[in-house]
Amino acid sequence: MQNKICVALLLKFSLWYTLIKKRIQPLLKTEKLGMITKKLPHISRYKTRKYLQETIFDIDKSSEVK
């Protein structure tokens, strides 16, 4: 009996987690995009950093906004 209850609770938790993740993920992406957009007008120098095997523009170090 306890195993059935545990399985039911895990299934409910899994469904809730999936629903919440689908709702929150776009909000987090929008917030991240907003932070990048806020930094763009404040770029005052050109800084790069290593990413994987490439060199990319580092907006965090190039912008005066923290």
Q: Of all helices (H) and strands (E), which one includes residue 20?
A: helix 2-39
d(CA 41, CA 63): 8
d(CA 59, CA 41): 11
Q: What is the pLDDT of residue 15?
A: 83
d(CA 56, CA 36): 15
Q: What is the pLDDT of residue 30?
A: 93
Measured in residues, the chain has a length of 66
The tens digit of pLDDT for each residue in 9-59 reads 888 888 888 888 888 889 889 999 999 999 999 999 999 999 999 999 999
Tell whether the model's pLDDT for residue 1 goes beyond 80: no
pLDDT band at 66 (very low <50, low <70, confident <90, very high): low
